[in-house]
Amino acid sequence: MPRDRWSDRWESFPPSRPLPVEGGIATRKQRGAMAESWWSQRFVEVLESFGLGGRMQRGRRYARAGQVTSLDVNPGSITALVQGSRREPYVVTVRMAVPSTTQWELISDEMRERVGFVARLLDGDVPPALEDTFAAAGVPLFPSMWDDLDADCTCPDWGNPCKHIAAVLYVFADKLDDDPWLLLAWRGRSREDVLAPLRARPGARRADHGLPAWWPLAPGVGDVGGRGGAALLDAALTEPADPPDAVLARLEPLPVDVRGVPATDLLRPAYEALATPTDDEDG
């Protein structure tokens, strides 16, 4: 049935008590803040900024008590079972529109423009600039208002969100601490989907950004004939970046300087020297 957000005018009635659950998905945070990592904290911050009141508090208690018994994340949707006061668990779904293929291409372009950002992604880290990267592509990473979400629960509570929906969102935030890629999976792309466009192809020049064929070099990237990154390094010898310091030009500012000179500027001559053939290479 459709749900509309309204005031909690029924709060004068005694709240129902959920049936106890064994083996539920209890959040690790039993006190205080519900998240640790920046991306999980940001998700909780966004949810709690919507001014949804006591329902979120009751949902937090459900999440900590392990009343959520299952949770699945798919492109555009989170589906979960929550044990309430009735014998049959309630089914919760939370949907958010996923970016289109064109929008994902814009997001990938924004990521490629940030060399340091790409390196951290390939290393398994999620930089805080991820939200800004989505915003620069005109796509929000997080919902900007509650109406950006299409949430539903099979419980008889007409309020939206009900405590079961809130519990699912808190459990999702808790899972993000362990696996930040779940957030991007919900937004429509797996970890491999996101990283694949950022990896260079063996022997192919990154002409669109002036970067060499080996960028970004990472373990397992460009595995050709069992040689791994060696094939990309071969390509680098024949097709260096043009200009040689193109990578430095796209690095995020390094918080290091030597006698007032930025470290990036000090490295430029080294890149030019490495890209200049020696007499032995010429002959």
User: Cis peptide before 89, with omega less than 30 degrees from 0?
Assistant: no
Secondary structure of 187-200 in HEC code, one letter for each residue:
CCCCHHHHHHHHCC
> Is residue 1 pLDDT above 50, yes or no?
no
The single residue listed with the structure tokens 């290091």 is: 256
d(CA 170, CA 61) in angstroms, rounded, equals: 10
User: Any residues with CB less than 8 A from the CB of 83 and at least 6 apart, and which?
Assistant: 18, 19, 21, 24, 67, 68, 69, 89, 90
Do 174 and 39 contact (CB within 8 A), yes or no? no
Give the number of other Cβ atoms within 10 Å of residue 77's Cβ.
Answer: 14
**For the chain, domain boundaries:** 38-98+143-187
Confidence band of 242 (pLDDT split at 50, 70, 90) = low
Work out the average pLDDT over 234-261. Answer: 60
Do 46 and 142 contact (CB within 8 A), yes or no? yes
Work out the average pLDDT over 265-280. Answer: 67
What is the per-residue pLDDT across 142-152, written as a single tens digit (0 to 9) for each? 998 899 999 99
Structure tokens at 167: 């519990």
Work out the average pLDDT over 1-8. Answer: 46
d(CA 47, CA 159) in angstroms, rounded, equals: 16
Q: pTM of the prediction?
A: 0.68
Do 185 and 74 contact (CB within 8 A), yes or no? yes
Structure tokens at 66: 């392990």
DSSP 89-142: PEEEEEE-PPPPHHHHHHHHHHHHT-HHHHHHHHTT---TTHHHHHHHTT--SS
What's the alpha-carbon Rg for the chain, to the nearest Å? 24
Specify the range with the lowest mean pLDDT, choosing from 8-12, 92-96, 262-266.
8-12
Q: What mean pLDDT, rounded, does the chain reach?
A: 77
